[in-house]
């Protein structure tokens, strides 16, 4: 039995199979409409995350399966002091597969060690959120046609953003991917990622402070939010914040076939005027998230569809 804790749990070859399956699901949803009939997904969310929870639930319902669970710790037995290990043993009696969200790093790993059903890490603190990374990879592959030989700009909070760390690690396994990190000094990509993941493997990257300066080089722009409270002082925030807000003016500098991604929810880091631009891919990214979670559920449950 197999769990999903990190996006690197799958080899590049396994990932290819998974993304192929997700693509086939997009093309032929009816083939998969009864694939999980009689099976149940538990969504065990110790903190709320509507988007991730509903994406998993939609995925399981699209496969003909059913869903149960809880959406916040308040409505769970965690409030009675039960350990994650005991909870997953209980959930194993109620469901065939489980997606777990937890504010503490490593909680899903602890669960997977005693679980008798596959556990998917649906986000553990600032640590990992592998199904988001799978959705990002499927979006790039579907809209750009490949996962190698392109330039990706990651923009905003690169220090604390779990999503961008995972994506860098995942893309570093493909050939010819160039990284441009666009962030204020305070929110730069951590050294351990630059050194261990990129430099150690001879993967090129650049670091810049202004989005405009690199816009024309990008095949993919991955936006994230810059939160005011992450800055050292008010002046820096005021001076820098506009560099990290994407609008139509900045989009004019970009290639015609660039795509803009965002893990959502966005607040104001992408102006709503960009939504109408055909290069805006962040809502399609949500749809790809459903397809890739369908593929993930099928893979972990070892359900084959002919």
Smaller CB separation from a copy of itself, 15 or 98: 98
Q: Tell whether residue 206 is among the known ligand binding residues.
A: no
99/91 Cα distance (integer angstroms): 11
The annotation status of 102 as a binding-site residue, yes or no, is: no
For residue 264, say whether it is annotated as part of any ligand binding site: yes
Nearer to a copy of itself, 48 or 103 (CB): 48
Bridge-based pairing of strands 259-261 and 220-223 is parallel
How near is the Cβ of 199 to a copy of itself at its closest, in Å?
34
Shortest reach from residue 63's CB to a copy of itself, in Å: 11
Which position among 80, 228, 276, 304 bears the catalytic label?
Answer: 80
Which residue, 178 or 284, has its beta carbon nearer to a copy of itself?
Answer: 284
Q: How long, in residues, is the chain?
A: 306
149 counts as catalytic: no
Query: Known binder of ligand: residue 169?
Result: no
Minimum CB separation of residue 148 from a copy of itself in Å reads 27
Which residue is catalytic, options 40, 43, 52, 102?
52
Q: Is 163 a catalytic residue?
A: no
- Per the annotation, does 51 bind a ligand? yes
Is the Cβ of residue 67 or residue 168 nearer to a copy of itself in the bound state? 67
Residue 38 Cβ vs a copy of itself, minimum distance, rounded to whole Å: 6
The contacts of residue 165 (CB under 8 Å, 6+ apart) are 189, 190, 193
Catalytic residue status for 80: yes
51 is catalytic: yes
Check if the beta carbon of residue 122 is closer than 8 Å to that of residue 99. yes
Binding stretches for a copy of itself (CB under 8 A): 33, 38, 40, 42, 48-51, 54-55, 57-58, 61, 66-72, 74-77, 79-82, 85-86, 89-91, 93-95, 264-267, 272, 283, 286-287, 289-290
Instruction: Please compute, for residue 305, the number of CA atoms within 13 A of its CA located in the half-sphere on the CB side.
Output: 22
- List the catalytic residues: 51-52, 80, 101, 129
Binding site for carbamoyl phosphate, by residue number, is 51-52, 101, 129, 132, 264-265
Binding site, by residue number, is 51-52, 80, 101, 129, 132, 162, 225, 264-265
């Amino acid at each position: 039995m197999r769990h999903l804790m990190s996006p690197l749990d799958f080899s590049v070859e396994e990932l290819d199979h998974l993304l192929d399956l997700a693509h086939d699901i997009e093309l032929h949803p009816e083939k998969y409409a009864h694939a999980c009939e009689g099976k149940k997904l538990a969504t065990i969310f110790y903190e709320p995350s509507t988007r991730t929870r509903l994406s998993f639930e939609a995925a399981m319902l699209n496969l003909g399966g059913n869903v149960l669970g809880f959406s916040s710790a308040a409505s769970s037995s965690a409030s009675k002091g039960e350990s994650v290990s005991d909870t997953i043993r209980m959930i194993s009696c109620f469901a065939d597969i489980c997606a777990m969200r937890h504010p503490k790093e490593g909680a899903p790993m602890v669960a997977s060690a005693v679980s008798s059903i596959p556990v998917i890490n649906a986000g553990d603190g600032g640590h990992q959120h592998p199904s988001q990374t799978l959705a990002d990879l499927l979006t790039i592959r579907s809209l750009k046609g490949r996962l190698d030989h392109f330039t990706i700009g990651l923009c905003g909070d690169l220090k604390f953003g779990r999503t961008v760390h995972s994506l860098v690690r995942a893309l570093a396994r493909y050939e010819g991917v160039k990284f441009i990190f666009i962030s204020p000094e305070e929110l730069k990509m951590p050294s351990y990622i630059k050194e261990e993941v990129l430099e150690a493997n001879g993967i090129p990257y650049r670091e810049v402070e202004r989005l405009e300066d690199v816009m024309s080089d990008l095949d993919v722009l991955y936006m994230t939010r810059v939160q005011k409270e992450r800055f050292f002082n008010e002046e820096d925030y005021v001076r820098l914040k506009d560099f990290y807000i994407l609008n139509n003016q900045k989009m004019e500098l970009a290639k015609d076939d660039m795509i803009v991604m965002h893990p959502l929810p966005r607040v104001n880091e992408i102006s709503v005027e960009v939504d109408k631009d055909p290069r805006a891919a962040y809502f399609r990214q949500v749809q790809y998230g459903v397809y890739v979670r369908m593929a993930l559920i099928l893979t972990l449950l070892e359900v084959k569809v002919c």
